[in-house]
Amino acid sequence: MSNCVFCEILSGRLPSSQIYRDELCTAFLDIQPVNPGHLLIVPNSHAAFLSELEEETGAQMFRVAHRLAHALRKSGVKCEGANFFLADGEAAMQEVFHVHLHVFPRYPGDGFGLRFGPAYFQKPTRAELDSVAKKIRDVL
Ligand SMILES: [Zn+2]
């Protein structure tokens, strides 16, 4: 047994309601959905964080998410919009340390929301934005 629940699902040792699988990634329903149809797309090879994930696998995960968001809207599952959510690191609310991209249906009054911190309401200056942009560009 692996101590990673998603590796256990991928190996078939734990059950899942699978939706899609290819050579790079697999999609199955979240067992604690925000709304019905909430699915997860995970790489087939264990990677705890984005920094451990091959870029092509990440690209394929997004391609599949794009396709499945479209499928959700056509499926009859209540879906007036969709959110994509990926938590990379504990500070970002990652709870299972095997990369996973959430795709979940949204509709008015579903009760889900995001909360902004106080810094959100104090817009940075252009100089501050440019300084942060430079720091990121410098390490690309
Ligand atoms: Zn894993």
**pTM given for the model:** 0.94
pLDDT of residue 22: 98
Q: Counting Cβ atoms within 10 Å, is residue 22 exposed (0-12), middle (13-18) or buried (19+)?
A: exposed
Give the distance (Å) from ligand 1 centre to CA of residue 5: 7
In 3D space, the residue among 107, 106, 71 whose CA is nearest the CA of residue 85 turns out to be 106
pLDDT of residue 2: 78
What are 90's two structure tokens? 């504990």
Q: Contact at 8 Å (CB) between 18 and 67?
A: no
- Give residues whose Cβ lies within 5 Å of ion ligand 1: 4, 6-7, 46, 98
Question: How far is the first Cα of the chain from the last one, in angstroms, to the nearest whole number?
Answer: 38
- CA dist 55 to 18, 31, 47, 50, 52, Å? 24, 27, 12, 9, 9
- Please state, in angstroms and rounded to a whole number, the distance separating the CA atoms of residues 66 and 26: 14
pLDDT of residue 124: 95
> Among all residues, which ones are annotated catalytic?
100
In 3D space, the residue among 39, 41, 19 whose CA is nearest the CA of residue 31 turns out to be 39
Give the distance (Å) from ligand 1 centre to CA of residue 53: 12
Give the distance (Å) from ligand 1 centre to CA of residue 48: 7
pLDDT of residue 1: 63
pLDDT one digit per residue (tens) for the chain, 140 residues: 679 999 999 999 999 999 999 999 999 999 999 999 999 999 999 999 999 999 999 999 999 999 999 999 999 999 999 999 999 999 999 999 999 999 999 999 999 999 999 999 999 999 999 999 999 999 99
Beta strand extents in 13-79 (DSSP E only): 18-21, 25-29, 39-43
Residue written as token pair 């699915």: 39
